[in-house]
Amino acid sequence: DTAVSQTPKYLVTQMGNDKSIKCEQNLGHDTMYWYKQDSKKFLKIMFSYNNKELIINETVPNRFSPKSPDKAHLNLHINSLELGDSAVYFCASSDLAGGLNEQFFGPGTRLTVL
Amino acid sequence: GIQVEQSPPDLILQEGANSTLRCNFSDSVNNLQWFHQNPWGQLINLFYIPSGTKQNGRLSATTVATERYSLLYISSSQTTDSGVYFCAVGNYGQNFVFGPGTRLSALP
């Protein structure tokens, strides 16, 4: 009965590779997010999708592309991985249509680029 | 954009002690949440508290929206309280901004 789930939990890969992280929520929320947490624990939003449409796109490299096949899923695809992409990536969701901004977070995906 | 500050940056508590964590933000918001990131990296929702006071067991929080701050109270701390406490704020449909966190070490 996990609310927000992410796969994989850990991802170790070589520089230059392409990888994807998947996120699913079963809360019936209409908005999903991706956040990046760097080595100093600082959390920053990357993308926000509302009903499969992009509503926030912070300044992230074009190598990062979110894809939302339906409102319960928001996947993150990363091309040409670089050392600086190593971080923990969190997915989250909220019910904006319901007037609630409370965000619920997934367990995180720790990405290590070698 | 909205700026968020948290204090103190680091905190060491003996088991059983009480403490108050503070979050200041630079603009009016309609969403404020407190999170606990445990030593395993999980982000746990503590409170959704854009205004007012809430209590949950040994934890309580108060947000004074007009003065742009929120407080998180931890009473009778336990070792399981260790981790990083984040305050995050935002407005409907806009960025949700996290503070830098307060790192708590609760000692036995």
Location of structure tokens 């999980």: B42
Token pair listed for B68: 């742009």
Domain boundary assignment for chain B:
4-107
Task: Tell which residue, B17, B1, B6, B13, has the closest CA to residue B71.
Answer: B6
Does the domain made of B4-107 have the CATH classification 2.60.40.10? yes
How far apart are the C-alpha atoms of B76 and B78, rounded to whole Å?
A: 7
The confidence band for A1, taking pLDDT boundaries of 50, 70 and 90, is low
Contacts of B23 in chain A (CB under 8 A): none
A7-65 residue pLDDT tens: 999 999 999 999 999 999 999 998 999 999 999 999 999 988 887 788 777 788 889 99
Q: Do B41 and A55 touch (CB under 8 A)?
A: no
| A60 in B contact zone (CB under 8 Å) | no
What pLDDT sits at residue A38? Answer: 93
Sign of the alpha-carbon dihedral angle for A93, A95, A101, A102: negative
Does residue A41 contact residue B86 with C-beta atoms inside 8 Å? Answer: no
Cα nearest neighbour of A58 on chain B: B95
What domains appear along chain A, each with residue ranges and CATH number? 4-113 (2.60.40.10)
Q: What is the mean pLDDT of each run of 10 residues along chain B (108 residues)?
A: 95 96 94 94 94 97 97 96 96 84 95
Q: Do A88 and B41 touch (CB under 8 A)?
A: yes
Task: Tell which residue, A57, A31, A63, has the closest CA to residue A44.
Answer: A57
How far apart are the C-alpha atoms of B14 and A48, rounded to whole Å?
A: 40
Q: Do B48 and A110 touch (CB under 8 A)?
A: no
